[in-house]
Amino acid sequence: MTSLPQGAGKKLGLVIDLDICVGCHACAVACKSWNSIGAAAPLSDTTPYGPEASGVWLNRVHTYEVEDGQGGFTLHFPRSCLHCDNAPCVTVCPTGASYKRARDGIVLVDEDLCIGCGLCAWACPYGARELDDATGVMKKCTLCADRIDNGDFDEADRVPACVRTCPTSARHFGDLGDPESEVSKLVADRGGAAPMPESGAGPVNRYLPPRARHAGPAPMAVGADAGQPSGFLDWLDRVLSD
Amino acid sequence: MRPAVSLVLFTSLSGAGLGALVWLGALHALGLPPRDTPFVVTSTVLALALVVAGLLASTFHLRHPERAWRALSQWRSSWLSREGVMAMITFAPALAFLGGSIVAGPGGGVLAPAGLAMVLCAVGTMICTAMIYRSLWTVPQWSNVWTVPCFLAIGLAGGALLVCAAASLGGAPVPGGLLVVALLAPPCAAAVKACAWAHAEHPAGSDLATALGMGDRLRGGRMLEAPNSSENYLQREMIFHIGRKHARKLRRSALVVGVAAPMALLAAGALAGGVAGAALTVLAAGCGLAGTLIERWLFFAEAKHKVALYYGAERV
C-alpha cells in the first residue's frame, strides 16, 4: 500500500558529518558491494569499464567548492535516500511496490511489484532512486535492512554497510525519532540540517554542517609572487633576455 | 526531463481522444447536430482508438509491462493509478454511448445520460493525467496551476478537430456550432499554454545552498567533482539539455502547426465542401495532433528537475 503509514515513532536514518567526510567514496563502494550480493537483485553496471562506464549506485559522493565569506572550503556531500517522513516517492507509486516500513520508517521497494515506470525517481527531490537497466526495477537505499534485520550478525555489523565502512566515522546510524538517541543528540549539538528542506518531503537523515573555522592568517593566494623576479633571478632574467 | 516517445504519444493521443469523447457527449446531451448514427459510430470509434493507442503507448514506458495491471491498485494515493482507473471506467459510458447509438439510433434514450457520463469520465481522466505531472514538486514547470488547464484545453482543442473530421467524412458540411467550437478551441488552448510558458519564466526557489541544507551560510559554490565519470540514470532521465536549446523555435512551430494551420484548413474545408472539404478537415485534425506532439515533446524537454542542482545547475 503506497499510502504512508501512521508513524510508529521510530525513524531509522543516517547522520552524516560533513565536517569529517573526506570524500573517499568508501561508503559508496561498500554500498554498491553489499547491495550487489544481498537479498535483492544486484546493482547492475550496464557498461562497467571504459570511458562510458555506467551503472546503478545507491549512494553517490558529490564534491563542491563552497564560498562562505571566509575564504571558502571543499565540501564532500554523500547523497542517498533520506527515508522521508512524507516520502513523495511512495505515494506516487501506482502499484504498491514502493512502501514505507511502518515499524521503523525505512522506505523500500518490493521488486516483484515494480513495473519500472520511473515515476518515483521523478518524485524524489534528492535523486535517491535509480532504475536498474538489467532487471528493469527501481533501486534505492534500504538502509541495509537485510543487515539491520539479521539477528545472526554481530551487533556491530547490524548497521548499514556505509556506516560500518566509513574510515573517518563520519556516518552514524540510529533512531532519529527518539530525542534521546545518540544520533538525535549529535543533530541537536551540531545543528544538523536536512537538505532541500523546502521540498516538504520531511527528510529523516541529517547532515552535520562543517564547523566554523577559527580566524587565522589570510590564505596565501597561489601564484601571488610569480610576477617579476628580484635579486639574482632578476639579474639572470635580464642577462638571458638580452 | 527526457521526452520519452511513449509518454509524448500517450498524453497527446489519449488527450485528443478523450477531448473528442467530451465534445461527442456534450453534443448529445445538448441535443445539437450532428447526431446521426454513422457520425456517432465513426467519431466514437476514432476517439476510443486514440485513447487505446495512447494507453498502449504508455505501457512501452514500463520496464515490466506484463505487470501493468498492478498500476490500477493504488488509486488512493497515486495519480498515475487514478489515471489508469479513470481511463478504464470511461470505457463503460463510451461503449454504452456507441452501443446505444447503433441499437436505438440517434434518438435513443440511453444516449443523453451515457453522453453526460462520458463527458464527466473523460474530463476526470484528463485531469488525472495532468495531475501525474502537476503533483511532482520536483519539476517546477509542471507543479503549477497551469498544468491541468493546459492538458484540458489542448485535449479539448484536438478533440474538437477530430469530431469535425469525423463529421466531414459523412459528406455533409460540418454543422455551424461544431465548426465555431473547433475554430475557437485551438487559439484558446494556445492562450492557456502561453500562460504556462510565461509562468515558467519565474525564477524557481531552490539553489545549491538549499539543496545542501546549508541555508544562509553558503554564499556560492560550484561542483568540483561529480560522483560519476560519465552520465548516470539520473542525468539521462532528468537532466535533459537538448530541448531548451531550440525551445523558442519549437514553441513557434507548435503554434503554427497546431493552431494556425488547423484553423486555416478548417475554414478552407468549410468553404470548399464536398470531398475536398472533408480532406481539408481531416488534414486540420492531423495538424492539430502534430502540434500537440510538438507541444508535449517540449513539455518534457523544457522541464527541469531539482536533482540537477546536485549536478551543477544554478537554480531550479
Q: For the segment A138-165, what is each residue's pLDDT rounded down to a tens digit?
A: 999 999 999 999 999 999 999 999 999 9
All residues of chain B having their beta carbon less than 8 Å from the beta carbon of residue A204 are none
pLDDT for A62: 98
B143 contact A CB<8A:
no
**Residue range A23-49: mean pLDDT, rounded:** 91
Q: How far apart are CA B83 and CA B58, in angstroms?
A: 12
For residue A46, pLDDT beyond 90: no
The 10s digit of each residue's pLDDT in B218-276 is 888 899 999 998 999 999 999 977 767 788 999 999 999 999 999 999 999 999 988 99
The confidence score (pLDDT) of residue A231 equals 87
Å between B7 CA and nearest CA of chain A: 11
Amino acid type, A217 = P
Q: Which of A53, A65, A90 shows the shortest C-beta gap to B224? A: A65
Region B171-190: mean pLDDT is 94
Distance from CA of B40 to the nearest CA of A (A): 34
In chain B, the percentage of residues whose pLDDT exceeds 90 is 82
Kindly list the residues from chain A whose CB atom is less than 8 angstroms away from the CB atom of residue B240: none
Residue of B nearest to A129 (CA): B234
Q: Is the pLDDT of residue A59 over 70?
A: yes
Determine the average pLDDT of the residues in A159-187.
Answer: 97
Which candidate, B85, B106, B87, places its Cα nearest to that of B41?
B106
* Residue closest to B113 by CA, chosen among B19, B29, B21, B26: B29
- pLDDT at position A237, please? 85
CA distances in angstroms from B31 to A82, B25, B148, B160, listed in the order given: 56, 10, 28, 17
**Pairwise CB contact (< 8 Å): A116 & B63:** yes
Query: How far, CA to CA in Å, does A230 sit from each of A221, A225, A227?
Result: 19, 10, 9
* pLDDT greater than 90 at residue B107: no
Shortest Cα distance from A101 to chain B (angstroms)? 16
pLDDT digits (tens, 9 = 90+) for B13-34: 999 999 999 999 999 888 888 8
Residue B176 near chain A (CB below 8 Å): no
**CB distance A195–B213 less than 8 Å?**
yes
**Is B20 part of any domain?**
yes
Rounded CA-CA distance B165/B225 in Å is 56
Cα separation, B272 vs B276, whole angstroms: 6
- Kindly identify which residue of chain A lies nearest to residue B82, measuring between CA atoms: A94
- Percent of chain A at pLDDT above 70? 93
Report the residue of chain A nearest B81, measured CA to CA: A94
Q: What is the pLDDT of residue A28?
A: 97
B316: in domain: no
ipTM: 0.94
Q: How confident is the model at residue A14 (pLDDT cuts 50, 70, 90)?
A: very high
Note the pLDDT of residue A215: 64
CA distance B14 to chain A (A): 18
A132, closest residue in chain B (CA to CA): B233
Q: How confident is the model over A63-113, as pLDDT tens digits?
A: 999 988 777 899 999 999 999 999 999 999 999 999 999 999 999 999 999
Nearest residue in chain B measured CA to CA from A123:
B136
Residue A223 has pLDDT above 60, yes or no: no
Which residue in A28, A52, A93 is closest to B74 by CB distance? A93
Q: Is residue B261 part of a domain?
A: yes
Q: Per-residue pLDDT for B133 more than 80?
A: yes
- Cross-chain Cβ contact A196/B215 below 8 Å: no
Across the range B167-176, mean pLDDT stands at 89
CB contact under 8 A, A62 and B225: yes
Mean pLDDT of chain A: 91
Judged by average pLDDT, the poorest of A118-122, A217-221, B75-79, B81-85 is A217-221
Q: Chain A residues with CB inside 8 Å of B208's CB?
A: 64
Shortest CB distance from A74 goes to which of B81, B137, B224?
B224
User: Within a domain: residue B292?
Assistant: yes
> Does residue B116 lie within any of the structural domains?
yes
The count of structural domains within chain B is 1
Kindly state the cell numbers that stand for A62: 558529490
- Give contacts of B222 with chain A, Cβ < 8 Å: 64-65
The pLDDT of residue A229 is 75
Which residues form the domain of B283? 5-311
- How large a percentage of chain B has pLDDT more than 70? 99
Task: Judge residue A100's burial from the number of C-beta atoms within 10 Å of its C-beta, 0-12 exposed, 13-18 middle, 19 or more buried.
Answer: buried
Instruction: Kindly report the average pLDDT of chain B as a whole number.
Output: 94
The neighbour count for residue A177, using CB atoms within 10 Å, is 18
CB spacing of A121 vs B234 below 8 angstroms: yes
A12-241 to CATH, choices 3.40.50.1110, 3.30.70.20, 3.40.50.720, 3.30.450.20: 3.30.70.20
Count residue pairs from A and B with Cβ separation < 8 A.
196
CATH number of the domain bearing residue B279: 1.20.1630.10
Is B281 near chain A, with CB under 8 Å?
no
Predicted confidence at residue A7, as pLDDT, reads 65
Pairing of strands A45-47, A54-55: antiparallel
* pLDDT reported for residue B314: 84
Pull the grid cell for residue B77.
494515493
Contact: A63, B225; criterion CB under 8 Å: yes
**Residue A230: per-residue pLDDT:** 82
- CA of A231 to nearest chain B CA: how many angstroms apart? 39
Give the pLDDT of residue B111: 86
∠ Cα A15 A20 A26 (to 5°): 80
H or E element that contains A15: strand A12-17
Across the range B121-134, mean pLDDT stands at 98
Nearest alpha-carbon partner for B176 in B166, B186, B167: B167
Say if residue A222's pLDDT is above 60.
Answer: no
Phi/psi region, residue B217 (left: phi>0; alpha: psi -120 to 50; beta: rest), is alpha
Given a cut of 60, whether residue A224 has pLDDT beyond it is: no
- CA of B74, closest CA in chain A: separation in Å? 5
Chain B 52-81, residues with CB within 8 Å of chain A CB atoms: 61-65, 67-68, 70-74, 76-81
Is residue A238 within a helix (H) or strand (E), and if so which, with residue range? helix A231-241
Show the cell assigned to A205. Answer: 537523515
* A82 vs A208: CA distance, rounded Å: 14
Nearest CA in chain B to A95: B71
Write out chain B residues lying below 8 Å of A13, CB-based: none
